[in-house]
Amino acid sequence: MIKTNFNTELTRNFYGTRLGLLNLRYKLNMLIQIIIILFIIFTLSRVSLKFRKKEASIKELIFWFIFWLLVGVAFFIPDFITRIANFLGIGRGADLVFYLAIVMIFYIIFRIYLRIEKIERDVTKIVRREALRESDEKEDIKNH
Amino acid sequence: MKIIAVIPAYNESKTISQVVREVGKLVDKVIVVDDGSEDKTGRLAKETGALVLSHLINRGQGASLQTGTEYALKIGAEIIVHFDADGQFEPKDINKAVEPIKSLKVDIVFGSRFKGSHHDMPIIKRWVLKGGTIFNFLFTGIKLTDAHCGLRALSQKAAKKLILSQDRMAHATEYLQEVKRHHLKFKEVPVSVKYTDYSKNKGQSAWNAFKILWELVTGKILR
């Protein structure tokens, strides 16, 4: 009898604490969602400002709007991404985002590599022109 | 025929004078491309009688060859010989390389260390170069016995058509691609090579083969 009472007490306490934790988690989640919303609004306003100042193209504008829209969807309707992930045979939505991020990073690195290579070739062109110009001047001095 | 030698050189002050002197006896003019050397390579080459073009900063062997070749064309070269500055080639092999262009109307002549003597070539280098010939064959459809020999001779026509965009070591394969693209006639001649401790040190390591591979693949995309 006493034993059972003790158990119920414990159970109630246990659930009590857990509810408290859930509550805290819920509040934190709210806070993060608000921050995310503010951040998205801030970023998009920056992008559209840039667009209005003609510093960004319409392509960029659309890209960033879609990108941040997706980020918003991912945060507010996590199930949405999970469903896409499941459709692609990936267990969790977070995993899908992770894979996509890695693919994108590799792509960006490759693009940067190509850009550097292009700059290297341009540097060579300048160095070559300088080398040839210098020798031309010498030839001129010899000839005159 | 006006024969001009192009010698790319990066920090080769130990050997450059002798190479310029010996090569100078066999050709009409020697062009040394000083590829941003930190030592007195350029000055020594000039004192020995070479025409020196200087890269302000180091741009690699492919870039230097292209600079030298362009200049040689400008001053009226009819045959252009590429030669290494580290002194591992036999200067009189230049005659062997030039001969087919003079008589047979070949456009480009590649030296081959495997057709010639290569007794003291390190075994790993031998394997890597053999692998390189297979790779070159797959990449360009041209089968040579040597993959990356620094001694070659170009006719004026070939030199005008073959433009190197690979600044570093991938230029040897790039030449083959270009030969294929322009349907040029080529020939291989045996050249002998002596591997001194100096040239072994200056030469490429086997790992560079992978770098060349990567450069070729990205070079295709950039084209």
Chain B residue closest to A125 (CA)?
B63
Per mean pLDDT, which range of A119-123, B38-42, B115-119 is the poorest?
B115-119
Q: Return per-residue pLDDT of chain A as tens, 144 residues.
A: 444 444 455 455 555 555 666 777 778 888 888 898 899 999 999 989 988 988 888 888 898 899 888 888 887 887 888 888 899 998 888 888 899 999 999 999 999 999 999 999 999 999 999 999 987 776 665 555
Q: Provide residues of B within 8 Å CB-CB of chain A.
A: 33, 51-57, 59-60, 63, 66-67, 70-71, 74, 165, 167, 218-219, 221-222
**Contact residues, chain A, for B66 at CB < 8 Å:** 128
pLDDT at A15: 53
Instruction: Categorize the per-residue pLDDT at B202 as very low, low, confident or very high, splitting at 50, 70 and 90.
Output: low
The tokens for A14 are: 């246990």
Query: Residue B108 in 3-state DSSP?
Result: strand
CA distance A99 to chain B (A): 24
The tokens for A12 are: 């109630």
Half-sphere exposure of B15 (CA within 13 A, CB side): 21
Q: Of B146, B109, B143, which Cα lies nearest the Cα of B126?
A: B146
pLDDT at A59: 87
pTM for the model stands at 0.77
Q: Give the A window 114-133 contacts with B, CB below 8 Å.
A: 114, 117-118, 120-121, 123-124, 127-128, 130-132
Mode of pairing for the β-strands spanning B3-9 and B108-112: unpaired
pLDDT of residue B210 exceeding 60, the answer is yes
User: What average pLDDT score do residues B186-198 get?
Assistant: 86
The tokens for B147 are: 């993959």
Q: For residue B75, what is the enclosing H or E element?
A: none
pLDDT at B85: 93
Chain B residue closest to A133 (CA)?
B53
Distances (CA, A) of B72 to A118, B117, B171: 26, 30, 18
Instruction: Categorize the per-residue pLDDT at B156 as very low, low, confident or very high, splitting at 50, 70 and 90.
Output: very high
CA distance A113 to chain B (A): 9
Distances (CA, A) of B115 to B119, B155, B218: 11, 22, 31
The tokens for A132 are: 């040839």
Instruction: Categorize the per-residue pLDDT at B31 as very low, low, confident or very high, splitting at 50, 70 and 90.
Output: very high
Please name the residue that has the structure tokens 């002998």.
Answer: B192
pLDDT at B207: 75
Say if CB B33 and CB A135 are below 8 A apart. Answer: no
pLDDT at A1: 45
Measured CA to CA, the distance from residue B170 to residue B168 in angstroms comes to 6
Work out how many CB contacts closer than 8 A connect A with B. 48
Q: Does A55 reach chain B within 8 Å, measured CB to CB?
A: no
CA B127 to chain centre: 20
CA distance A135 to chain B (A): 6
B188 or A27, higher pLDDT: B188
Give every CB contact of residue B171 below 8 A, 6+ residues apart in sequence: B61, B62, B65, B66, B164
pLDDT at B10: 94
For every residue of B58-113, DSSP letters joined together read ---HHHHHHHHHHHHHHTT-SEEEE--TTS-B-TTHHHHHHHHHHHH--SEEEEET
pLDDT of residue B160 exceeding 80, the answer is yes
Nearest to B56 among A118, A120, A127 (CB): A127
Per mean pLDDT, which range of A3-7, A79-83, B49-53, B216-220 is the poorest?
A3-7
Whether A127 sits inside 8 A of B59 (CB atoms) is yes
Query: Residue B32 in 3-state DSSP?
Result: strand
Measured CA to CA, the distance from residue B158 to residue B126 in angstroms comes to 29
pLDDT at A140: 60
Instruction: Categorize the per-residue pLDDT at B54 as very low, low, confident or very high, splitting at 50, 70 and 90.
Output: very high
User: What average pLDDT score do residues B176-187 get?
Assistant: 92
pLDDT at B221: 77
**Contact residues, chain A, for B69 at CB < 8 Å:** none
pLDDT at A141: 56
Whether A132 sits inside 8 A of B71 (CB atoms) is yes
Average pLDDT of chain B, as a whole number: 89
Nearest to A131 among B53, B165, B218 (CB): B53
Query: Residue B6 in 3-state DSSP?
Result: strand
- CB atoms < 10 A from the CB of A106, how many? 10
**Contact residues, chain A, for B167 at CB < 8 Å:** 120-121, 124
User: What average pLDDT score do residues B209-223 get?
Assistant: 80
pLDDT of residue B79 exceeding 70, the answer is yes
Query: Residue B204 in 3-state DSSP?
Result: coil
User: What average pLDDT score do residues B52-62 get?
Assistant: 95
